[in-house]
Amino acid sequence: MRNLTGMGLVAALLVPMIGGASMTAVPASAAPHCQPGRDVKYDPHPGAIVVQTSFEEEGLGKFISTTAGKGIVAVSSAQRRSGACSAYLHATDDVGSVAYMSTPSLPPRSKEIYADGWFNITKAGLPDNDVPYLRLFNGSDRVMDVFRDNQDGQLWLRVASPSGSFAYTGLGRAAELGAWHHLVVHIVADGSASTVEIWFDDQLLYSSNTVSSGYKALTSVQLGAEHPRQLGDSYVDDITITAR
């Protein structure tokens, strides 16, 4: 179930977007008190701005939110990097539980993307699984993503090869739970000569212009996992995504 989600739903410190006919039960309370009009300084990146938000004024309206089962995508004041609110992604290991949000379609033939945001994973999933930060797509095909391994907290880059299999690269850095981290992913999709750069907490962890991928264009950027039972809780704030 795919919907554009704004600020009009009720929750406990949450304004949720929940798939299915009924809302997941939450404690009765007021909607979060965000700070519309708050000026947030974003890092400049080349390209046209596709999404830039701190979730204070537009809520989730700049993203396409998708949920199913017991998954929740919401605006929350429980955690925030700036202002009073952030986006909240909650997925469980129940059958069919999905929670993620993605950009509208990128400009046609977008080759170069900067995805910049602040992330706070507060709950990890099962030891043999992971919680994704950012995923980049060409249509329905996942091109690459950066994720946190649930077992040891290590960060990994996963890239789809031309054959369709995935190549994994450890980024040599662990991300602790319950803390805000600044992630910037830069990709220039150019088949077997793609460029990928990754900064985490302003430290360059990875840089290569010889990444082998089967794609020469990107169509969307996603926060969270698109498949069910990807257990985890994440907060996201101060997002900028540019494309050219």
Flag the least confident range among 31-40, 147-156, 179-188: 31-40
Q: pTM of the predicted model, to two decimals?
A: 0.87
Flag the least confident range among 7-21, 69-83, 159-173, 180-194: 7-21
Q: Of 65, 112, 88, 86, give the one whose Cα is nearest residue 226.
A: 65
Identify the structural domains of the chain with CATH numbers, from first to last: 2-23+47-243 (2.60.120.200)
pLDDT of residue 30: 56
**Mean pLDDT, to the nearest integer, of 185-196?**
96
Share of the chain above pLDDT 70, in %: 88
pLDDT at 13 > cutoff 50: no
The predicted-structure confidence for 53-102, as pLDDT tens digits, reads as follows: 999 999 999 999 999 999 999 999 999 999 999 999 999 999 999 999 99
CB 236 within 8 A of CB 86: yes
pLDDT of residue 228: 85
Contacts of 170 (CB under 8 A, 6+ apart): 154, 155, 156
Q: What is the 3-state secondary structure (H, E, C) of 1-58?
A: CEEECCCCCCCCCEEEECCCCCCCCCCCCCCCCCCCCCCCCCCCCCCEEEEEECCCCC
